[in-house]
Structure 1
Amino acid sequence: MAYRLVAYQRFAYRFVSGVDGRGSAAVSVVADLHRLQRLSRADPAWTLLRADSGPAVVAMLSRHFSSGSGTRRMAAPELFGLVDADLQALRDEGFDLPRSGQAYCTDWIRAGYLVRRASSAAREETVEPSEGLLAAISYVTGLESSTSTVTESRLTTLSAQLQALARDSDSRAETRLRALHAERAEIDRQIAAVESGDYPVLDGDRAAERVAEILALASEVPGDFARVRAELERLNRDLRARILEDTEDRADTLGEVFRGVDVIGRSDAGRSFSGFYDMIIDPERSARIDEWIDTILDRQFARGLSARQRSRFRRLLTEMEESGAEVHRVMTSLARSLRHFVQSRHYEEHRRMQHELRAAQRAALRAAGHVKPFHQLELELVQVGMTIDSVSALRLHNPGDDRVAGRIETHAPGTADLAALRQLVRESEIDFDELSGNVRTVLAARGRATVAEVLADRPATQGLASVVGLLVLAFDHGHPVPGEDTVTWTSSSGTRRAATVQRRVFTPDEDWT
């Protein structure tokens, strides 16, 4: 079967390319050459592969945006730091890479290898691989892969797809029934073989080959997502440009958006991605895929897989769900933005500005024949708006300014002085133990006592703090009586103080301690 396919391909190539007709072949070659030359200058993947710095770019970026790491986007400062570390390692090995990581990343963004986007979740910009970078990494990985592309698993996948396509595209009931009956007979034969115990089991090498084939197919999915996202963004720009045009044949797009039609979702790229995304988020299908993955990793042959292969195999569905959800958010955001652009009438202002710019260009074209570029005009322009200063005028924050330059002294630990610690506590807190003892002593001598009498017999050693402490005890546990008392104490500066307080009496029968 494979031989017949190759033979048919060669015959089709000879027929279409016109080998037997030299005129048509020459025209086809010239057109192809012009098309490929234009592609080699514009396509980021092609320019990266033929650039002198291509190996260094692929070596660094493939480490941080590889399919095995699961990283598809990171903050720009984080990538700058990672590239700086890679550059230092390469310089230590003698490679001439004199610039900083930020400078190289800026060039890669300008060349189309990386895409810089604003992040709604953080203040930093994010950087992600472009469609061209993923294509270049995939091509280089394919060159280094030790697995042959002509494998049994790939041919099995190809034959299964051909069989499904031939069956599902058949409009005749009799041939379709014949194919289904044949498939059912094959399934019955396999069931009988399993029931009898005579059925083949894949050996370790062939099973590992199929795992590698699955991972190879999965590694192409990020590139597909990047292409879909780029296509959706190009479609969004084209739709906005079409809305700004005045021609009647472009008015259909404006009317559809006004009516709430999701023009982006109904596009070829939108419908294709929506079908894929609906399959990913289907809970039944997702649960079945997770079960299959767990079952495969529990097999005996899976123990021979590398840790990276097992990790990638484990994250197959998760990576597709995360990448698919991101593209779905982008498609939804673009559709909402386009609908707001139309329904808010912002397109009218853009259309007016476009007309003004074109009018100015036409006027400049007419004036170009009469006024030279170096001719000085008698016109004074008044500057409006904000003044933009140079970045060099900004004063950057230096963390070293807050650094303490003095020498830190180390003190040897000593023996704690209990009396000194008690004194420190007395300076910050009221000594209620001392006050309670004073009240008990006075009550033992007098039988009953007021706050003033306690202070008369036992002076306030903490000054006002002792007075306040006695009042707290009196208000909590003492008895109020008519009249007022004058209490006195000596402050820390040696000044004699006095205050009038409500009279309260301590009695022995009250549990005031």
Structure 2
Amino acid sequence: MSGVPRDVARLTEAREGAALSLVRSRWAPLVLAVFRASFSQETKQVKAERLHVQVDTYLAELREHGHDVPAQEEGRALCLSWMRSQWLRRVPLDDGGEAYELTSHALAAMQMHDGLSRERALLSESRLTTILDAVHRWAVEADPDETTRVAALDAEIARLTAERDRLAGGGEVEVADDERMRGGYADLIDLLDQLPGDFRRVEEALDAIHDQMVRDFRADDRPKGEVLGEYLAASTHLASQTREGRAFQGALTVLGDEELLAAFRDDLRAIMTHPFARDLTQDERYGFVNADAVLRRGLRDVQLRQHRASQSLAEYLSGYNSLQERELTRTLRSLEQELAVWMETARARDTVPIPGMPARLDIDHVRTRFHDPEAHRPAPPLEDVSDQAPDAPTLDDVRRQGGPLLEEVRRGLDRAVADGAEGLAEAFNALPADLRRPVELYGLAYLASRGELDLDGGGGMVETIRADGSRRSFALPRIHPPAHHTGDGDDDA
């Protein structure tokens, strides 16, 4: 029997996958362009509200340039539809909000479009050399024969020794030409572009295992104490339960080698020193030289996702009430079964009336709580602390915290003049300390403006005294009384 039926089933499943559905979508250019503008290697997540606004802005811009856009759709509705198509996913944030991030399907579709739009030769010396070198290395590691392994190492040592001796003897250093370097650069870009999708698949595999473990735990009929330890132990080994996770665990040996990553970064910079790099854009050179950041960021994201999945699973299992959950599950399942029966005869616009409140029961009174003596115990009496209360302020103290004391100041100035004070400043400095507050200067200005001071209004320095005893000097301006003045202080009509 041929393998055609099996291949047809496998290819049909791939064709119906989310990645190819995005590639085949009518709006694929629009969706991929929005994803490329909103997400990047540095911006892995975008807050939900922000992405909704960005999509609205991109749609308006496309309409202005005459491009077709989904009719009567707004950013939020499009993002939700992309979530249902498995191109976006919403993840919780530490601050309580939510953010969008691309799925591995969306990254795979973007890589397909990039590969189709990138101009390069499908077959090159660089690609063949990479394949041949990889096949030879894995063939050597797959052979358990010690003699074969030693012979391969000796051949490699001899080749490298001969090349070293040739260069040490003055041989010419063969530098790859521009065309060969472009081919090698294109192959490296193809491999590097696959890394974000690979890391994202590992994260999604961890989330899928987390959800499956929660579902399995809910369906487990054993006592909670019996299965809790088993599930908590399994939560610490999430990454080893999938093919993607096991592959990532193997890659940790490379990603965790700082010397190897440093050499990788130096090699990337060395490639960009070749003359062919002059034809690359600044963004292409920057992205290539910083490719090691993709590895570090992917490693960090996967480890963070693994830690959060294990932590949330442990918290869920510790606080899970299996009895209540099973009762709720049985209730929902029975409702679902009844709904399926009703749908067999229901029409498109049929509804099921559900009262907002349950029907009244024929019961006079239902006791909701019982008498609790503690609830009716009176509060303890307040402690008498009246002996600690400060002395109440007198009316005179309150007045001295307020505005100017016009009558007292005027009488004090009259006494100072009678004692021989010359000028307003000298008379004010002769007043008692309680009448030399800074606010009394406003009173002087008011009295002088009404012509109620029989003193020379010439300027001078006055020293004021605040209620707390601190002093401050002010320069008293020259005050001119009004030209017309009546004895009672009111202006002439």
Partner of residue 481, structure 1: none
Once the two structures are superposed, residues 23-80 of structure 1 have per-residue CA deviations (whole angstroms, 9 ceiling, x without a partner) of: x23xx44454455445444x2112222222222222332343356xx43222233333
Once residues 326 and 455 of structure 1 are traced to their aligned partners in structure 2, the CA distance between those partners, rounded to angstroms, is 89
Pick which of 250-259 and 320-329 moved more.
250-259
In structure 2, do the counterparts of structure 1 residues 169 and 47 end up closer, same or farther at CA, with 3 Å as the change threshold?
same
Alignment partner for residue 170 of structure 1, among 143, 150, 167? Answer: 143
Equivalent pairs, count: 389
Alignment partner for residue 277 of structure 2, among 299, 302, 310? Answer: 302
- How far residue 313 of structure 1 moved from its aligned partner, in angstroms, is 0.9
In structure 2, do the counterparts of structure 1 residues 38 and 295 end up closer, same or farther at CA, with 3 Å as the change threshold?
closer
Secondary structure of the equivalent of 2:68? coil
Q: 8 Å contact 1:463–1:491 — kept in the other structure?
A: no
- How far residue 102 of structure 1 moved from its aligned partner, in angstroms, is 3.1
Does 2:317 align with 1:342?
yes
In structure 2, do the counterparts of structure 1 residues 376 and 218 end up closer, same or farther at CA, with 3 Å as the change threshold?
closer
Partner of residue 290, structure 1: 265
> What letter corresponds to residue 58 of structure 2 in structure 1?
D
Alignment partner for residue 145 of structure 1, among 109, 114, 118? Answer: 118
User: Mapping of 1:238-317 within 5 angstroms?
Assistant: 238-246=212-220, 255-259=229-233, 262-268=236-242, 269-317=244-292
Partner of residue 155, structure 2: 182
Once residues 64 and 89 of structure 2 are traced to their aligned partners in structure 1, the CA distance between those partners, rounded to angstroms, is 29
Secondary structure of the equivalent of 1:71? coil
Partner of residue 63, structure 2: 91
Q: 8 Å contact 1:460–1:489 — kept in the other structure?
A: no
Does 2:433 align with 1:458?
no
Once residues 211 and 455 of structure 1 are traced to their aligned partners in structure 2, the CA distance between those partners, rounded to angstroms, is 102
Partner of residue 492, structure 1: 445
- How far residue 93 of structure 1 moved from its aligned partner, in angstroms, is 3.1
Partner of residue 73, structure 1: 45
Once the two structures are superposed, residues 414-440 of structure 1 have per-residue CA deviations (whole angstroms, 9 ceiling, x without a partner) of: xxxxxxxxxxxxxxxxxxxxxxxxxxx
Q: 8 Å contact 2:192–2:291 — kept in the other structure?
A: yes
Give the TM-score normalised by the residue count of structure 1.
0.64
Secondary structure of the equivalent of 1:492? helix
- How far residue 172 of structure 1 moved from its aligned partner, in angstroms, is 1.4
> What letter corresponds to residue 290 of structure 2 in structure 1?
R
Alignment partner for residue 117 of structure 1, among 87, 91, 99? Answer: 91
Once the two structures are superposed, residues 73-93 of structure 1 have per-residue CA deviations (whole angstroms, 9 ceiling, x without a partner) of: 222333334333332332233
Q: 8 Å contact 1:77–1:124 — kept in the other structure?
A: no
Does 2:280 align with 1:327?
no
> What letter corresponds to residue 115 of structure 2 in structure 1?
G
Q: 8 Å contact 1:225–1:327 — kept in the other structure?
A: yes
In structure 2, do the counterparts of structure 1 residues 352 and 282 end up closer, same or farther at CA, with 3 Å as the change threshold?
farther
> What letter corresponds to residue 238 of structure 1 in structure 2?
Q
Does 2:191 align with 1:226?
no
Pick which of 341-350 and 184-193 moved more.
341-350
Once residues 89 and 162 of structure 1 are traced to their aligned partners in structure 2, the CA distance between those partners, rounded to angstroms, is 49
Secondary structure of the equivalent of 1:200? coil
Partner of residue 127, structure 2: 154
Q: 8 Å contact 2:126–2:184 — kept in the other structure?
A: yes
> What letter corresponds to residue 314 of structure 1 in structure 2?
V
Once residues 195 and 442 of structure 2 are traced to their aligned partners in structure 1, the CA distance between those partners, rounded to angstroms, is 86
Give the TM-score normalised by the residue count of structure 2.
0.66
- How far residue 463 of structure 1 moved from its aligned partner, in angstroms, is 7.7
- How far residue 253 of structure 1 moved from its aligned partner, in angstroms, is 7.4
In structure 2, do the counterparts of structure 1 residues 170 and 76 end up closer, same or farther at CA, with 3 Å as the change threshold?
same
Q: 8 Å contact 2:38–2:46 — kept in the other structure?
A: no
In structure 2, do the counterparts of structure 1 residues 165 and 278 end up closer, same or farther at CA, with 3 Å as the change threshold?
closer
Partner of residue 387, structure 2: none
Alignment partner for residue 34 of structure 2, among 54, 60, 76? Answer: 60
Does 2:75 align with 1:101?
yes
Once residues 420 and 76 of structure 2 are traced to their aligned partners in structure 1, the CA distance between those partners, rounded to angstroms, is 76
Once residues 34 and 500 of structure 1 are traced to their aligned partners in structure 2, the CA distance between those partners, rounded to angstroms, is 98
> What letter corresponds to residue 100 of structure 2 in structure 1?
V
Partner of residue 6, structure 1: none
Q: CA RMSD in A?
A: 4.4
Unaligned runs of 5+ in 2: 359-415, 454-463, 470-493
Once residues 376 and 94 of structure 1 are traced to their aligned partners in structure 2, the CA distance between those partners, rounded to angstroms, is 43
> What letter corresponds to residue 183 of structure 1 in structure 2?
E
